């Protein structure tokens, strides 16, 4: 219930900002590599088969306001997450770690976007391994991310192409175990923003 309430608050803030002259919004997807540990043990050790496929997918959106005070700085709220899946063809484990929190975006030059977010995290893990319950399904914690992207496009519409580091630490409710997930992804995002033009 807390997660839904936080999501509705975030969406309410985003919708309130839509009419603002300096409204910022981006949404997109990324793919890359991830690492998940439970109480310090690497989850990939569970699967001994060398043919296992391991995939990480990142989704997210940001909404906020900027530029602020004539600077190429934006204040945003973010909702996103990483899905980290181990699959050997017959069994799978998927670790989903989510992030809701405030962030900042900065343009050192009009072509380059730097961004960072930190906030509340929760998990939603899934598996079809029989009797495999120790990873639980829900766990509170904290997470953060940093990214570097090229901002391409004309006017207020842009395409962000970049790379992101994501990290989350959660305490699983069923077992009390500590889940740590890190990921490095490359991403593409649509962005609507008002940029400061060079003199």
- Please report the pLDDT score of residue 41 as a whole number: 82
- Please report the pLDDT score of residue 49 as a whole number: 60
User: pLDDT digit string (tens) for 12-22?
Assistant: 554 444 445 69
- Please report the pLDDT score of residue 134 as a whole number: 56
**pTM of the predicted protein model:** 0.83
User: pLDDT digit string (tens) for 70-110?
Assistant: 899 999 999 999 998 888 777 788 889 999 999 999 999 99
Per-chain mean pLDDT for the chain: 84
- Please report the pLDDT score of residue 27 as a whole number: 98
Mean pLDDT of the region 178-193:
95
Concatenating the DSSP letter of every residue in the chain gives: -HHHHHHHHHHHHHHHHTTSTTEEEEEEEEEEEEEEEETTEEGGGG---TT-EEEEEEEEEEEEE--BTTBSEEEEEEEEEEEEEEE-SS-EEEEEEEEEEEEEEEEEETTEEEEEEEEEEEE--EE-STT--TT-S--EEEEEEEEEEEEE-STTEEEEEEEEEEEEEEE-TTT--EEEEEEEEEEEEEEE---PPP-
Domains along the chain?
A: 2-192 (2.40.160.20)
């Amino acid at each position: 219930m807390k997660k839904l309430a936080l999501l509705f608050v975030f969406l309410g803030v985003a919708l309130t900002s839509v009419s603002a002259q300096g409204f910022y919004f981006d949404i997109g997807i990324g793919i890359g590599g991830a690492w998940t540990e439970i109480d310090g043990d690497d989850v990939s050790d569970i699967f001994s088969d060398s043919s296992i496929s391991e995939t990480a997918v990142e989704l997210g959106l940001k909404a906020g306001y900027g530029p602020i005070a004539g600077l190429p700085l934006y204040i945003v709220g973010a909702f996103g997450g990483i899905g980290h899946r181990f699959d050997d063809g017959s069994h799978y484990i998927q670790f989903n770690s989510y992030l809701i929190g405030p962030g900042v975006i900065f343009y050192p030059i009009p072509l380059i976007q730097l961004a960072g977010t930190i906030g509340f995290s929760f998990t939603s893990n899934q598996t079809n391994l029989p009797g495999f319950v120790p990873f639980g399904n829900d766990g509170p914690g904290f997470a953060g991310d940093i990214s570097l992207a090229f901002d391409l496009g004309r006017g207020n519409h842009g395409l962000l192409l970049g790379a992101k580091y994501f990290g989350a630490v959660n305490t699983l409710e069923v077992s009390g175990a500590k889940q740590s997930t890190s990921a490095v992804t490359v991403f593409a995002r649509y962005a609507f923003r008002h940029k400061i033009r060079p003199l």
